[in-house]
Structure 1
Amino acid sequence: MKKSVDIMWKSYLQTVPESEREEKTYTSWAFGSDADMAKELAELVRTGEKTATCSLHMWYEIEQEVLPFKGEINIITDWDGEAEAVTETIDVQILPFNEVSTEFAAKEGEGDKSYDYWRRVHVEFFTNELKELKKEFDENMLVVCEEFRVVYKK
């Protein structure tokens, strides 16, 4: 773990009532698949432009990871693991890719915030992710749609 993650976590905890501090836990991670994307998306989170994200449901099954949940705390980092912001998950929905709403797409905060932009970049991103598994993208694949709010930032 990077020192900046530990520092941000301790700083965030100072904003939480003392009685709640011990029960708080977090995970830290970066968005995207490369340094530039991680930096860009972390900045959108820090500025409040990005308040949602989605991922392929199958990755949680393959990696045997816990699905995001309401109240979950995350420290968003850049690609090198430097802390950028602390977020709290406020809603999670699992639905087919082709049922993601225009409102959710706009909350992702990317590009022109249109559904068309969101769809294009996510089809491309998921298609590339799936190549690793020798699978093809399908509009009916389940995605995990997570909404969050920034609770602390540098």
Structure 2
Amino acid sequence: LFNHQQNSLDTMNGDDKGMREVSPELKLLDLTLKNASAIQHSSMGEFTAIGSQEILVARPGGAIEVHRIESSDDDDDDENRVWLKMIMRVETRSVIRSMEIVRLGGEKRDLVIIGSDSGNVSVMDFEGGKSKVLHCPAFGKTGEICIQFICYRHNMTNRC
């Protein structure tokens, strides 16, 4: 990379040796025009804050959203207003096959286990409004072990 930068500087200074340098660095931008509105998977738990009810939603295209259920506490009104507030959105750029909620012993918040179509199983944490992948082992290109994981996920996430 350093030699390429030096050659580019020589070309700019007029020391052209008959070759034109083309930058090997290519920067791509991947954006969606419109977010998906369908929901593939949804789960309820406490992901970002202790004691708050939140809904985790997986959308087509690999987007994961965390929505908090909020309500108005007006004493004047007889009716309480309830709405969803989106806390965060994470683009995974993958095909999400399964999503399960797990709470480790002694923890007060939930973790998310996500199985993708490529055979990866990721454990994600959404502490403080930031997403963090805690563990992401690859189980081969075919996803055979990922399919076995999906079959036994009920036993793993069953809360007693």
TM range (shorter): under 0.3
Taking structure 2 as the reference length, the TM-score comes to 0.21
Max Rg structure: 2
Taking structure 1 as the reference length, the TM-score comes to 0.22
Q: If each structure's helix is expressed as a fraction of its own residues, which one has the higher value?
A: 1
